[in-house]
Amino acid sequence: MRALARSIHAVHRDTWSIDDAMEFAEALITDRHLEVKGVGIELVARYRGRFTPKLLPRWKRWLAGNHAANWATTDAICGALIGPLLVYYAIERFPADKREALLKATRLQKNDGC
């Protein structure tokens, strides 16, 4: 799944925004197969440097809409999408001189190109 997401990202890296990746993932997340959902989640995760809080309601709809009806999908959404977004915005609350070291430590640099 990660390799397929990586190859899709490589093809579209210069043309897709996070919104394009989310649109693609929205189509996949409704599939009943775990592997298909996983490709969508992994693809969006490759755009983590562009995550903003406006994505949270969409990810919440995935969870509330029963598109993550198993632990693996729920874990992937939380670990690859929600967690990195929350960590990045929590780090933003630290003084500027501390942020760079924290961002490096978490590998969540904004617009890192993934």
Contact 58, 41 (CB under 8 A): no
Residues 48-91: tens digit of each pLDDT: 989 999 999 999 999 999 998 899 999 999 999 999 998 888 88
Contacts of 74 (CB under 8 A, 6+ apart): 63, 68
Contact 37, 31 (CB under 8 A): yes
Q: Which two tokens stand for residue 59?
A: 């990810």
pTM for the model stands at 0.82
* pLDDT value for 73: 95
pLDDT for residue 44 is more than 60? yes
Range list of H helices, 13-95: 18-29, 34-45, 56-64, 71-76, 83-91
